[in-house]
Amino acid sequence: MFFSLSMCTICQSSPPTSFKRRTFDFLLKFLPKTLRTKLTAFLINYQQGKSFAFLIFVVGICAGSFMIVQQYMLGESKFVIPSISSKKNLVVKANVGFASKIMYILYFWQPISYMIAFLAKSHTKKEFESDPILNLSKRQKQCKACSHTVTKFDHHCIWISNCVAGGNQIQFIFFLLSTIIINSTHGVLCARFLIKAYSAPLVGYGSVQKAFGLKKGLKILFNSFTPVFAQVFMFAIISLALVPFCIGQILNVLQNKTTFERLKNQRLCLEILEGKKVLVDYKEIKDSKDATDGTVIEKVTAAKWLQKRNIYDQGWAKNIKEALEMALARK
Ligand SMILES: [Zn+2]
């Protein structure tokens, strides 16, 4: 998963003329000609928005990583530890039992949740957008990255190669939650395996340490379980990095705000505090030259008020309902 996500970022952030694309071309020179032609064609196709090849690529990578993980971690995977008493190496079995069955479902779920977020269109139906009560037409914005005009634009996500907006906000949160659950479960299982390997009688690391001493024992442990250590580390980072982001997205739904609107609001607050803009009559922000039209509000009070202002908030229950309706009212 980590690998597939990294590849998505590399591909996505490499427009044809950019420095990164040139680096790519340079790296491609070292590959055999057939492979190079195929990869270049794939990159050009991908950059022109033909995402189907990309989708196959992602599914392939996910399936590949699933198989590797399965081989290493699940069922009866074997890790060899040098024997203490005899010259024959001993084997630790990574049988995680019931947990492995859950992991099977989770690993299949990961590419599915990814595809849901990847394929869900970010724009909503026209009739829905023009609904006078929901006030959605005012919240339209054209995305600079993919030039789609979407309602409730949040941000353009390079990982899913899609805009995150009203139409796919729920699907996106679902994908984030899935990724966090899968990665943290995987990390916990890997850690559990290490503890199991350490404490197993006769074959465990505890006995190895007793026989070889702490320094050599640690080296043996690390050499035998490098893939597992790497996975604990990698999956912990992925889960931890996504948690604050996911909380932010959930808050966006609960408060009926978008990341784009939050950032815009922050910028306005800053401009007010710097005296570049003036808030008039608690209603609108106008350029300072228009300030004579109304009463100018003191800048600190204005910024504080603006920070709290949320004209689209209808209470969390209605906000969730709106987000769900938008997710279902896609074009
Ligand atoms: Zn976009």
pLDDT of residue 60: 61
Residue 154 Cα to ligand 1 midpoint, Å, equals 9
Residue 114 Cα to ligand 1 midpoint, Å, equals 17
pLDDT band for position 287 (50/70/90)?
very low
CA nearest neighbour of 204 among 55, 289, 82, 57: 82
pLDDT, tens digit (0-9, with 9 covering 90-100), for 109-163: 877 888 888 777 777 666 666 666 666 667 888 888 777 788 888 988 877 777 8
pLDDT of residue 250: 95
Angular region, 49: left φ>0, alpha ψ -120 to 50, beta rest = left
Residue 14 Cα to ligand 1 midpoint, Å, equals 15
Residue 166 Cα to ligand 1 midpoint, Å, equals 12
Mean pLDDT of all residues in the chain?
A: 70
- Which tokens belong to 1? 């998963």
CA nearest neighbour of 181 among 95, 98, 242, 97: 242
Residue 242 Cα to ligand 1 midpoint, Å, equals 20
With a pLDDT cut of 90, the percent of the chain lying above it is 8
Residue 107 Cα to ligand 1 midpoint, Å, equals 28
pLDDT at 190 over 80: no
Residue 223 Cα to ligand 1 midpoint, Å, equals 44
- Which tokens belong to 130? 């023009």
Instruction: Confirm if 160 and 94 have CB atoms less than 8 A apart.
Output: no
DSSP state of 293: G
Residue 156 Cα to ligand 1 midpoint, Å, equals 4
Rounded CA gap, 149 and 197, in Å?
Answer: 54
pLDDT, tens digit (0-9, with 9 covering 90-100), for 6-42: 544 444 444 444 445 566 667 777 777 777 776 676 6
- CA angle (23, 24, 25) in 5-degree steps: 90
Residue 22 Cα to ligand 1 midpoint, Å, equals 24
pLDDT at 191 over 80: no
With a pLDDT cut of 70, the percent of the chain lying above it is 52
Q: What mean pLDDT do residues 35-58 have?
A: 60
Rounded CA gap, 246 and 95, in Å?
Answer: 32
Residue 142 Cα to ligand 1 midpoint, Å, equals 8
Specify the higher pLDDT residue, 221 or 88.
221
pLDDT, tens digit (0-9, with 9 covering 90-100), for 225-256: 666 677 677 778 878 888 999 999 999 999 99
pLDDT at 198 over 60: yes
* Long-range CB pairs of 217-225, under 8 A, 24+ apart, other chains included: 220/81, 220/82, 221/81, 221/197, 224/79, 224/80, 224/81, 224/92, 224/197, 225/79, 225/193, 225/194, 225/197
Specify the higher pLDDT residue, 189 or 63.
189
Highest mean pLDDT among 25-34, 63-72, 177-186: 177-186
Rounded CA gap, 62 and 108, in Å?
Answer: 9
pLDDT band for position 68 (50/70/90)?
low
Q: What mean pLDDT do residues 202-218 have?
A: 64
Residue 155 Cα to ligand 1 midpoint, Å, equals 7
Residue 163 Cα to ligand 1 midpoint, Å, equals 4
Residue 159 Cα to ligand 1 midpoint, Å, equals 11
pLDDT at 288 over 80: no
